[in-house]
């Protein structure tokens, strides 16, 4: 069953009094975003934290209205009645598709697009993480080549999230690779934030870490006041360890993911 059908059946269950759990609604919203469906309420639903789960059902109702599905739902008596309508509703949902992306291993020819990404989002990133500084941009080419040398040596794995038009929308990095573990970090362009792209890209790199790089464990850190990053880690399967860390003067939390157990 694809994510579109799951969304429709959940809506029918909700209308018929068969309550769907908040956790399941959040997972379905995230899957729908990854699959290309996009509405404001869907993005908000997908980003809910555990303490915010009581708002899930009201947000799901908003999703149904934003997708234009509400008028047809009262006439559906049983989830099986959805089967003949899936094709038609899918065509409606295509109008809400968000741009696609691919995750690519960092290459030398990515330099120009990556530099543009960092320049365009410098102020946006600096609002939540320390600024890279002028030296980073002045010596970008040399640093880019040096990182590729480290990647070739197996010390790190850098990945770019590349949009349909070839623009860089984000990056997901694995550093400090040793003894079957690595540290994960990520950032996403301002224009691509809030639509599930970060979670989808992090999930994809986690799969690469396990299946291609042979890693068993990943660690990550996020500032306590960075709810977006913490939600991405949680939705990608990371678990808070309870360890508190300092992130450039800000209070942070440690997370871990045991690969193969997501």
Domain boundaries, the chain: 3-94, 101-258
- pLDDT attached to residue 142: 96
pLDDT value of residue 69: 58
Average pLDDT over residues 208-218: 93
Residue 147's Cβ-count burial label (10 Å; 0-12, 13-18, 19+) is middle
Are 29 and 45 contacting, i.e. CB atoms less than 8 angstroms apart? yes
The span from the CA of 181 to the CA of 165, in Å, is 33
The conformation of residue 37, written as its DSSP 8-state character, comes to: B
SS3 123: helix
Percent of the chain with pLDDT over 90: 43
* Mean of pLDDT values over 200-227: 92
Q: Which pair of structure tokens corresponds to residue 205?
A: 């790199």
CATH superfamily of 101-258: Gcn5-related N-acetyltransferase (GNAT) (3.40.630.30)
State the Cα–Cα distance between residues 28 and 41, nearest whole angstrom. Answer: 13
Q: What is the pLDDT of residue 1?
A: 44
**Structure confidence by residue, pLDDT tens digits, 46-86:** 888 878 888 988 888 888 777 765 555 544 444 454 444 44
Q: Rounding to the nearest 10 degrees, give the CA dihedral for residues 38, 44, 50, 53.
A: -100
Tell me what pLDDT residue 83 has: 44
pLDDT at 183 over 50: yes
Band the pLDDT of 261: cuts 50, 70, 90: low
> What does the mean pLDDT of the chain come to?
83
* Tens digits of residue pLDDT in 218-257: 999 999 988 889 989 988 889 999 999 988 888 999 999 9
CA distance 73 to 255: 41
Cα–Cα dist 78/69, whole Å: 16
In the chain, the largest separation of any two C-alpha atoms, in whole Å, equals 64
DSSP code at position 258:
E
What's the chain's length in residues? 262
The pLDDT, as a whole number, for residue 2 is: 56
pLDDT tens by residue, 10-53? 877 776 677 888 888 888 888 777 666 777 788 888 888 878 88
Contact call for residues 22 and 56 (beta carbons, < 8 A): yes
At residue 98, what are phi and psi to the nearest 5 degrees?
-95, 160
The model carries a pTM of: 0.65
The model's pLDDT over 107-152, given as tens digits with 9 standing for 90+, comes to 999 999 999 999 999 999 988 888 899 999 999 999 999 999 999 9
Q: Is the pLDDT of residue 89 over 50?
A: no
């Amino acid at each position: 069953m694809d994510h579109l059908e799951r969304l429709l059946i959940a809506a029918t269950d909700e209308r018929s009094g068969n309550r769907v759990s908040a956790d399941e609604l959040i997972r379905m919203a995230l899957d729908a975003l990854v699959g290309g469906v996009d509405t404001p309420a869907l993005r908000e639903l997908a980003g809910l934290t555990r303490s915010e789960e009581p708002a899930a059902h009201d947000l799901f109702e908003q999703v149904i209205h934003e997708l234009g599905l509400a008028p047809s739902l009262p006439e559906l008596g049983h989830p099986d009645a959805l089967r003949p309508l899936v094709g038609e509703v899918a065509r409606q949902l295509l109008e809400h598709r968000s741009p696609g992306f691919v995750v690519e291993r960092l290459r030398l020819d990515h330099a120009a697009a990556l530099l543009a990404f960092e320049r365009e989002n410098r102020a946006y990133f600096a609002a939540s993480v320390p600024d890279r500084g002028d030296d980073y941009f002045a010596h970008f080419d040399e640093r880019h080549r040096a990182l590729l040398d480290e990647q070739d040596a197996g010390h790190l794995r850098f990945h770019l999230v590349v949009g349909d038009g070839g623009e860089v929308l984000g990056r997901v990095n694995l550093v400090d690779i040793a003894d079957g573990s690595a540290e994960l970090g990520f950032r996403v362009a301002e224009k691509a934030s809030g639509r599930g792209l970060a979670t989808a890209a992090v999930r994809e790199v986690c799969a690469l870490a396990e299946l291609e790089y042979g890693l068993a464990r990943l660690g990550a850190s996020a500032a306590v006041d960075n709810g977006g990053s913490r939600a991405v880690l949680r939705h990608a399967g990371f678990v808070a360890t309870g360890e508190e860390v300092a992130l450039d003067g800000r209070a942070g939390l440690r997370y871990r993911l045991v690969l193969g157990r997501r």
